[in-house]
Amino acid sequence: MDSKHDIIVNNLSVKYHQFEAVKDVNFKVNNKDFIAIVGPNGSGKTTLIKALLGLKSIASGTVLKSKLLSVGYLPQSTALQDRQFPATVEEVILTGRLANKKFPKRYNQEDYAEMIKVLEYLDIVALRKKRIGLLSGGQQQRVLLARALVNKPDVLIMDEPTSALDQSIRDQFYKLIKMLNEEIDMTILLVTHDIASAGDYVNRVIYMDQTILFDGPFREFCEQKELSPFIHTHALRRAKRSEG
């Protein structure tokens, strides 16, 4: 492996019973990459990142990453909708610090200091003692981002993080992620349907439908009209935006 930050995926296949959701996938995530993984519904995007995160077992192939690589994870924004759940923002964010703790796990001064830093960075200090279920969708997403960032990950993996957010909040969100990518050299892996909004921020697009059909810069991605109507629609939207 070239560096601690790289993730190398070789001939990866993942199955749900007999169905091969991810088929013979090969790619390398380099340090400081900002990659959008796109594709139609059921194309295996979420399964792919679940395999990278160790949440789904691999049928064949390998995912090579350094044991020292620290990974932050931001799940789908629709995944956590239990507004009744009695947890404060502070309680939720601090769970991001549990990864490297030894039994019996307890938070220390450093954990609280890191939490305050990330609250300040994401401009949500005022929410610290609030119950997470009472926050707006955009605020909740920032809290979950804070939870993913509080352990200072090398790589941030996100699954449809903006699917439940308004367009204006989406743009703010992507700007924030880009800032993390540029200012603190964080590698970003983003599964999204929303390439029209995310395209301007990423340096690489991976288009997949079970297997990878395209891997390259967004500009080139927009030119691949023959690959799928999915791409063509976004290319048209992008062209319209640049004309406007």
Binding pattern for the stretch 199-238 against other proteins, x by CB under 8 A and - elsewhere: ----------------------------------------
Distance between CA atoms of 238 and 229, rounded to whole angstroms?
A: 14
CA dihedral 76, 13, 207, 167 (to 10 degrees): 0
Give the one residue of 26, 62, 105, 223 binding other proteins; rule: CB under 8 A.
105
Number of residues lying near other proteins (CB under 8 A): 34
> Alpha carbon of 182 to those of 158, 193, 203, 206: distances in Å?
17, 23, 11, 20
The binder of other proteins chosen from 64, 99, 125, 184 (CB under 8 A):
99
62 forms beta bridges with 10
Do strands 19-29 and 7-16 pair parallel, antiparallel, or not at all (unpaired)?
antiparallel
We find the least distance from the C-beta atom of residue 235 to other proteins, in angstroms, to be 34
Which of 44, 72 has the CB closer to other proteins? 72
> Quick check: 104 binds other proteins (CB under 8 A)?
yes
Q: At closest approach, how far in Å is the CB of 152 from other proteins?
A: 13
List 60, 85, 182, 219, residue binding other proteins (CB under 8 A)? 85
Residue 163 CB contacts under 8 Å (≥ 6 apart), including other chains: 76, 77, 78, 193, 194
Place of tokens 């194309």: 43
Q: Is 80 a binder of other proteins (CB under 8 A)? A: yes
Q: Quick check: 107 binds other proteins (CB under 8 A)? A: yes
The answer to whether 45 and 38 are in contact (CB under 8 A) is: yes
Rounded to whole angstroms, how far apart are CA atoms 15 and 8? 20
Question: How many alpha carbons fall within 13 Å on the CB side of residue 112?
Answer: 4
The stretch among 30-38, 47-55, 115-123, 200-208 that binds other proteins (CB under 8 A) is 47-55
Q: Under the criterion CB under 8 A, does residue 84 sit at the interface with other proteins?
A: yes
Task: Give whichever of 131 and 232 is closer to other proteins, judged by the CB atom.
Answer: 131
Q: How far apart are CA 234 and CA 217, in angstroms?
A: 14
User: Which range, of 37-45, 127-135, 161-169, 231-239, touches other proteins by CB under 8 A?
Assistant: 127-135
Nearer to other proteins, 100 or 242 (CB): 100
Q: Which residues here bind other proteins, judged by CB under 8 A?
A: 53-55, 71, 73, 75, 79-80, 82, 84-88, 90-92, 94-96, 98-101, 103-107, 129, 131, 134, 147, 151
